[in-house]
């Protein structure tokens, strides 16, 4: 979900909650509750693209509606359709409240008024208890939404992977989370997977890149026969993609030594033969780093911490 869609949903829920604060005795009828939720869902889909997934770069005309959107929509509709309508107690007859001791004794032996659960009919009113429970859930959702918006804008952002440059660590269309705050307190380290704005000579067309930090300022980097050396020490790189003829060995198998300048890092893709990185356009300024990638969260079968 985009931050725009989340903000839209939190705004709608906040308006609803404000109505209950202004009118404490307000009762909710399932018809209006369900209608309101359906309208909110429709507006979010129509005007914000909140659940739209970005189309793969090799399929620019792919429809935005995919399994994720369908799952979210189906879940929301099911939740709306199965909202219960509460319980009502049968009101006692006036005759039960009148009479002498004998009649009260008779009433004592009669079964108490039964509580019957109404079916999911749009004409039934919610009980006061159910309204209270609903408001508790509403408050929790609003707080969670506001917290998520804060995290999205100041701490964590999500990205999707458009290319094969980080295979096998990251596959095309993987969704990842990036910590934007960590480098306000720490310097990038060797082995970090970072999202950054590449130098102008990279011809990125304004797109962010994701690579692995191989060396930091002051380090000397070279590549000889496809082996990477940092300060003349060969790197052990279990994360690398094994060489394959599939990529035609586009990557540089030999790279002359360079020393990383101050406040820069040297970045390379895990899929070296198919990665355009610092070997081609130089070191990355630390100020260009957006954040550190730390989690793959979609597809669910690949959800894991990144190392």
HEC string for 193-248: EEEECCCHHHCCCCCCEEEEEEEECCCEEEEECCEEEECCEECCCCCCCCCCHHHC
pLDDT of residue 122: 37
On average, the pLDDT of the chain sits at 74
Tokens of 164: 């094969």
Alpha helices in the chain (DSSP H): 3-22, 30-47, 67-81, 94-97, 101-109, 128-154, 278-281
Our measurement of the distance from residue 59's CA atom to the centroid of its chain's CA atoms, rounded to an integer in Å, reads: 23
| Model confidence, pTM | 0.59
The catalytic residues are: 165, 211
Region at 49 (left for phi over 0; alpha for psi -120 to 50; beta for the rest): left
pLDDT of residue 211: 96
pLDDT tens across 270-293, in order? Answer: 998 888 899 999 999 999 999 999
Q: Give the domain range for residue 142.
A: 3-56+64-87+121-154
Region at 21 (left for phi over 0; alpha for psi -120 to 50; beta for the rest): alpha
For residue 31, give every residue at least 6 positions away whose Cβ sits within 8 Å of its Cβ, in sequence order, or none: 122, 123
Establish if 99 belongs to a structural domain. Answer: no
Are 14 and 145 found together in one domain? yes
Are 203 and 248 found together in one domain? yes
Is 53's pLDDT higher than 80?
A: no
Is 296's pLDDT higher than 90?
A: yes
Tokens 């002359």, residue located: 256
> CB of 222 within 8 A of CB of 233?
no
pLDDT of residue 118: 45
Are 165 and 148 found together in one domain? no
Are 7 and 149 found together in one domain? yes
Other CB atoms within 10 Å distance of the CB of residue 170: 25
pLDDT of residue 201: 85
Are 68 and 189 found together in one domain? no
> CB of 155 within 8 A of CB of 179?
yes
Buried/exposed code over 60-84 (b: 16+ C-beta within 10 A; e: otherwise): eeeeeeeeebeebbeebeeebeebe
Are 212 and 262 found together in one domain? yes
Are 167 and 229 found together in one domain? yes
pLDDT of residue 58: 41
Tokens of 258: 């360079």
pLDDT class for 261, splitting at 50, 70, 90?
Answer: very high
Tokens of 292: 């550190």
pLDDT of residue 208: 92
pLDDT class for 189, splitting at 50, 70, 90?
Answer: very high
Are 150 and 10 found together in one domain? yes
Establish if 184 belongs to a structural domain. Answer: yes
Other CB atoms within 10 Å distance of the CB of residue 293: 24
Is 126's pLDDT higher than 70?
A: no
pLDDT class for 65, splitting at 50, 70, 90?
Answer: very low
Range 116-145 average pLDDT: 65
| Gap between the Cα atoms of 207 and 62, Å rounded | 20
pLDDT tens across 73-97, in order? Answer: 666 666 655 555 444 444 444 444 4
Highest mean pLDDT among 6-10, 188-192, 249-253: 188-192
Highest mean pLDDT among 55-64, 102-111, 171-180: 171-180
Query: What CATH number does residue 267 fall under?
Result: 2.10.109.10
Backbone φ and ψ for 268, nearest 5 degrees, come out as: -140, 155
Range 148-152 average pLDDT: 73
pLDDT of residue 105: 45
Tell me which residue of 213, 211, 193, 230 sits closest to 271, measured CA to CA: 211
């Amino acid at each position: 979900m985009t931050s725009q869609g989340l903000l839209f949903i939190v705004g709608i829920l906040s308006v609803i909650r404000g109505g209950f604060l202004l009118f404490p005795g307000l009762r909710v009828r399932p018809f209006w509750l369900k209608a309101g939720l359906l309208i909110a869902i429709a507006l979010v889909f129509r005007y914000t693209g909140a659940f739209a997934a970005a189309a793969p770069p090799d399929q620019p005309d792919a429809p935005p509606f995919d399994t994720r959107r369908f799952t979210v929509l189906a879940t929301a509709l099911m939740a709306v359709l199965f909202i219960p309508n509460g319980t009502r107690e049968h009101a006692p007859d006036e005759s039960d409240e009148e009479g002498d001791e004998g009649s009260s004794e008779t009433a004592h032996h009669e079964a108490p008024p039964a509580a019957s659960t109404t079916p999911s009919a749009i004409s039934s009113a919610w009980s006061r208890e159910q309204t209270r429970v609903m408001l508790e859930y509403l408050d929790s959702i609003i707080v969670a939404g506001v917290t998520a918006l804060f995290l999205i804008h100041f701490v964590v952002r999500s990205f999707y992977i458009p290319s094969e440059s980080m295979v096998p660590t990251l596959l095309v269309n993987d969704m990842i989370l990036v910590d934007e705050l960590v480098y306000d307190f720490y310097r990038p380290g060797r082995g970090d997977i970072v999202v950054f704005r590449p130098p102008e000579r990279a011809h990125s067309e304004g797109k962010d890149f994701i690579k692995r930090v191989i060396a930091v300022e002051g380090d000397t980097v070279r590549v000889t026969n496809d082996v990477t050396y940092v300060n003349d020490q060969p790197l052990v790189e279990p994360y690398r993609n094994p060489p394959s003829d599939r990529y035609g060995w586009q990557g540089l198998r030999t790279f002359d030594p360079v020393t990383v300048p101050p406040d820069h890092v040297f970045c390379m893709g895990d899929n070296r033969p198919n990665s355009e990185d610092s070997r081609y356009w130089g070191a990355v300024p630390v100020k260009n780093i957006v954040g550190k990638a730390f989690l793959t969260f979609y597809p669910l079968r690949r959800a894991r911490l990144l190392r």
